[in-house]
Structure 1
């Protein structure tokens, strides 16, 4: 549905990082919402995190339990979490056990107790933890639906928002789903030997929201939702500046080949096998960082200490620039990571530090972090589009698996739509010697030198040499001097004479 514009006062912010972005601002006031998930999914933490945030904003909360853990045990488990604040209890957050009421007076008695307590305590948020007990106590499905309806009518009249916590339904659409204003499902999905927590808004009346699954984490600070980047940034956050200026690569000969440098606010990719010097090219690019063009290295494989060492060997003083605050580094070991967490951290750092030069050393690290690999092209498209409109000149590296091969297969699907500029690094064998070779494959909307160049990595950095005009079949990796016929390959086994 099209996004509905509400007044800010119609919203009840959850205060959960990322969740309000998924909900386009938070819950709707007076709505009844269901938090659904298996035991251990994080429902109780989420509800309490929302409760303490609501209280911190001046609201009053009634947290009701039905055949759930005791209040003593509940508080004991909440105490290590940073959002827990005992000063809010019981003045702003009241905990009420109503299971005995449910057993003695049934659904009607429970509704009456909740109505009375909400009114007496002037609650603006009501949490009912253990809705499954109500469902089991209902004689029929109609009675269960009637309970939700009556609760909705009573609390809506006094302006209270309701959260109902329940276990995951065995049915695709349970009777309770038709009655509530929204359903938020929590799940813990097994991925090989690992697992990833996921939140999905299955229903949300009166407003648009970000559909589909979104990863979330449970940390000492509570729950943090990581909206899918391609959903969050369906459209870039601002207009594309479309600048015509050039940004130096840090290698004078390469700048000359591509018309003065990389187009400003463009995205480039360096393809090449391991050892070709992809990181070295990136360090030259970052060595041009300054107060007007702060730089960031976002890497997966080499630690900051190793990066500084590599830069020193090349004659680049990135340590000095780091101390000056014009060069920054973020390192993420390629272990169990959440793809959207990486993207969110990257964009947050770029915005906070005013980055203008970005080197992502190993786009493959994003691929390895993707729980669903089919997402990666959409994720990268959203990320690169946002970086462009922020005015960032970005250089990616991507590794080719084979060092010498004539049939080159790029590891990124749809690369032409993701990047404006492509530089290709190769190894070439000629006269029993291995050479490094660079070729500019693409510079969008710009003329460039397409000749093949040998380059060397020296103590003074990268040096580009003349073209490979004296050899043929260079792109196969098995170059031959011009005019020299290819020798016929001899079989390893000879046929025996009869």
Structure 2
């Protein structure tokens, strides 16, 4: 007997009566369906013109045939098969070598016109048995409904079809236009209902798939974005649904991980605990990416690193690091570090999340720097999802034992307020490091402060730092500052005489000034 989730052609149920899964082979869709479709089940695929119904059904047929099964595609539309195949030939899943032995096309338009629903049922029985089909796709269910004299006759046809495919152990995909009534009797008779829709997201459109019914099995609820690509349809399950629970138990933090900046490690009690998530907050130019480069330069065979960024190409990033004396090329060439660049244009947040987790699992990454959180925000479809997606990703990364740094940009360069880019994110992360500018004597100075280290004591002092040809250098504390959280320094006469902690020819001092 085939175990549930294993899939493959065969009878509808094994000796013990367990329903057998038939994978669709469509990227992401089997995850939404929790393993695929059930053998012997009937599924309505509903959507408007251009939604992707025909492509989806053909992709399932070809993937099924590629796995050794037999698929029958029946069209009830006036469009001839040659025209449809011309459109399919450009898609990666299409393989002419599988036609006709693996995927067989039949036009039932004439059978329906001449023999009505009875004639159509006769054709379906004959062709499914003759071809040994374990997947049946019927395109144009509206034509079937219009071919009957009444809804009662159509329901009778539907019942006969359902009984037949159940006996044969054949999965049936029944494609119907969304112009048919939303709640129609046939919806109660099928095992599943998959809806394909186009939604507006700001100024762009996004395709979405929703499993509205899945008899005998749960499915990931809600709408999941998908694309029609050169390879066919790719579905991106909602991250907060896919990772509602981490893939494995979350272990206890084991030891500390260096940030790559020894003085900052000291401020954090020896560095962040392994397997925790650190949010590095700061305005543009404060040094978030620079800190991330320090962190990733420590990547090794024991602690593989990953840079997942949106704004810098790998070459530019490596050159930028080299200008500060940090070597990223070496770890990359050794295979200890991978730099992934994902331009922000026309991205899907769930796709980005899946790519990130896949890259982490593929190499067993232990050091991760996400640069930055803004890249995810630009790919968002609904604002209320951001904190849920971020929490799901953080939980999975902790479970995988990844020590993560995430750069988050604050809007104000100087001033008393710190605007966290995502509401609730400060509760989700384990640690927070704030980088800020402070204005003092008509100059901007950089300050670093540790605001949170979960499970550990830490240094509350404000430290001035600068970015040099040797990277980040921390000075003494900024302890004498007044209006510390205002971002504007208030100097006293003594502070004017002493100057900055980095004043030429002087050791670290404590200038009068503040930053938030």
The alignment's TM-score, normalised by the length of structure 1, stands at 0.94
1:327 is the counterpart of 2:337: yes
Which deviations, in whole Å up to 9, do the C-alpha atoms of 1:275-322 show, x marking residues without a partner?
Answer: 101100110001111111111111111222221121011100111221
1:384 is the counterpart of 2:402: no
Report 1:128-277 matches (<5 A): 128-277=138-287
Alpha carbons 2:253, 2:276 under 8 Å: kept: no
Paired position in structure 2 for 1:495: none
Alpha carbons 2:142, 2:180 under 8 Å: kept: no
How far the C-alpha of 1:381 sits from its partner, in A, is: 0.5
Match of 1:307 among 317, 332, 344: 317
Matched residues in 1 for 2:32 and 2:163: separation?
Answer: 27
Q: Which has the higher contact order (CA 8 A, sep 6+)?
A: 1
Matched residues in 2 for 1:420 and 1:237: separation?
Answer: 20
Paired position in structure 1 for 2:125: 115
Paired position in structure 2 for 1:29: 39
Alpha carbons 1:125, 1:161 under 8 Å: kept: yes
Matched residues in 2 for 1:392 and 1:68: separation?
Answer: 56
Report 1:463-482 matches (<5 A): 463-481=473-491
What CA RMSD, in Å, does the superposition of the two structures yield over aligned residues?
A: 1.6
Matched residues in 2 for 1:473 and 1:192: separation?
Answer: 41
Query: Are the structure 2 counterparts of residues 469 and 8 from structure 1 closer, same or farther at C-alpha, using a change threshold of 3 Å?
Result: closer
Paired position in structure 2 for 1:62: 72
Matched residues in 1 for 2:295 and 2:487: separation?
Answer: 27
How far the C-alpha of 1:482 sits from its partner, in A, is: 5.4
Paired position in structure 1 for 2:30: 20
Matched residues in 2 for 1:7 and 1:190: separation?
Answer: 34
Paired position in structure 1 for 2:382: 372
Paired position in structure 1 for 2:416: 406
Paired position in structure 2 for 1:358: 368
Which deviations, in whole Å up to 9, do the C-alpha atoms of 1:71-111 show, x marking residues without a partner?
Answer: 10111111122221222221222111011111111111111
Match of 1:43 among 32, 53, 56: 53
SS in 2 for 1:476: coil
User: Deviation above 2 Å: which 4+ runs of structure 1?
Assistant: 5-9, 169-172, 190-193, 481-485
SS in 1 for 2:149: coil
The unaligned stretches of length 5 or more in structure 1 are 486-498
1:295 is the counterpart of 2:305: yes
Query: Are the structure 2 counterparts of residues 79 and 394 from structure 1 closer, same or farther at C-alpha, using a change threshold of 3 Å?
Result: same
Alpha carbons 1:404, 1:427 under 8 Å: kept: yes
How far the C-alpha of 1:7 sits from its partner, in A, is: 6.7
Matched residues in 2 for 1:248 and 1:419: separation?
Answer: 18
Matched residues in 1 for 2:73 and 2:481: separation?
Answer: 78
Matched residues in 2 for 1:417 and 1:408: separation?
Answer: 15
Paired position in structure 2 for 1:101: 111
The alignment's TM-score, normalised by the length of structure 2, stands at 0.91
Match of 1:420 among 430, 434, 450: 430
1:394 is the counterpart of 2:404: yes
SS in 2 for 1:457: strand
* Count of residue pairs brought into register by the alignment: 481
Paired position in structure 1 for 2:347: 337
